[in-house]
Amino acid sequence: MGDRRLVRFALVAAVSIGLGCGWFGSAASAQSLTDRFKSLFGGGSSSDKPSGPPPALSDSDAELTCPPVVIRAGASTYSVAAPGKQPIGNDLKFQASITRTARQCSLNNGEITVKIGIQGRVIAGPSGAPPTVQVPLRVAVVQGGVGEKTIATKAYQTTVQMDEAGSVPFSLVAEDVVYPAPSPGDNDNYIFYIGFDPQALKPEPKPKAVRKK
């Protein structure tokens, strides 16, 4: 049992190092892996290379293209520890990481609707992961440049059933991201930011009751 936990911890460390070198704050690979990704975005097996630049959104406005997907710096991993502990060393329960993304845009009546696919993996830590893990994610449409401006943002959750192997993939497709179409000049500064957001696990505050006069 001890050896298995050590192996899991080594896997977690390896994933963290790999993300820090290749994914931290950089554009994610737009390659589909699962059947769900294939049905939404096309593509073949996991050995296929990422496709070329995305097509224009419409024939009438060929200058508007689908912005790149970027994993926000500091949100590339999601680590959870035992209660009252820090998510490091033997106190780590599990760690989730993002490994692949895909996106698809469509333009209609001045609005852009986006499908963003996120795929990753949850690895159990030395402290042992629970049978079910809630993975919190956030997608944001941001206009970059001097002083970033958030155009749209939405939080999501996906449930992962852990197994004895302690390493389980997950996927989520955000299909309801909508924002006003920017001008061709501004569109070059647009970015789809994704990442883990623990705040997504908190229930939304209930609206305050209005007292009747």
| pLDDT tens over the chain, length 213 residues | 444 443 343 434 433 333 333 333 334 433 333 454 555 544 433 333 334 443 434 444 445 679 999 999 999 999 999 888 999 999 999 999 999 999 999 988 889 999 999 999 999 999 999 999 999 999 999 998 888 899 999 999 999 999 988 999 999 999 989 999 998 888 889 999 999 999 877 765 555 655 555
Closest CA to 71 of 199, 191, 168: 191
Count of the separate structural domains present in the chain: 1
Name the DSSP letter for residue 187: H
Residues ≥6 apart with Cβ < 8 Å to 1: none
**Whole-number Å distance between alpha carbons of 101 and 119:** 6
Is 208 part of a structural domain of the chain? Answer: no
Q: Classify residue 94: in a domain, yes or no.
A: yes
Residue numbers of the domain that contains 62? 2-201
For the stretch 150-155, contacts whose Cβ atoms lie closer than 8 Å and that sit 24 or more positions apart, written own/partner, are 151/179, 151/180, 151/190, 152/177, 152/178, 152/179, 155/197, 155/199, 155/200
User: What is the pLDDT, as a whole number, of residue 21?
Assistant: 37
213 within some domain: no
Residue 157 covered by a domain: yes
Residue 155 pLDDT: 94
Residue 189 domain flag: yes
Q: Which amino acid is at 76?
A: S
Of residues 91, 88, 77, the one with CA closest to residue 21 = 77
CB-side exposure of 16: number of CA atoms within 13 Å? 17
206: in domain? no
Report pLDDT for 162.
94
Q: Is 212 part of any domain?
A: no
**209 lies in a domain?**
no
